[in-house]
Amino acid sequence: MRIAKSLVFALAILSPIASFAFAEDASVTEILKEHQVIVEKYADKSKKVVPHVVDYKYGMKLDIAKVIRTSPDTRACKVIPQLMTYEDSSGNLNTVKYQIMSTCRGKN
């Protein structure tokens, strides 16, 4: 009986924590999708090809002439993916996906 009560207590404590973690991951996914929608609208408006997302690799050479958009920080206090869309010197759109340590809530 004591073990059963302990398990129920542990589940009651841990279930909200687990759901919070998944909610933050969903918000990161939503932000990345929103970034792509905005980039698609920009590409249509400027009559350019919508870029494919390329994963950044250390030492990769980037030809950045103008930054169009970076995805906003989620303030999740963990490493999250980030997107940056830019025009290169030829005027083509490019999107790079990289990892950042997001800012922490309540931290200065």
Are 39 and 69 in contact by the 8 Å Cβ rule? The answer is yes
The span from the CA of 59 to the CA of 98, in Å, is: 12
| Assigned CATH topology for domain 2-101 | Spermidine Synthase; Chain: A, domain 2 (2.30.140)
Kindly state the tokens that stand for 57: 């690799």
Q: Which of 3-17, 24-38, 83-97 has the highest mean pLDDT?
A: 83-97
Q: What span, in angstroms and rounded, lies between the C-alpha atoms of 50 and 37? A: 10
Q: Give me the percent of the chain exceeding a pLDDT of 70.
A: 74
pLDDT in tens, 81-108: 999 999 999 999 999 999 999 888 665 5
Statement: the pTM of the whole predicted model exceeds 0.85: no
Query: How are beta strands 53-55 and 79-87 bridged, if at all?
Result: unpaired
pLDDT value at 79 more than 70: yes
* Domain positions in the chain: 2-101
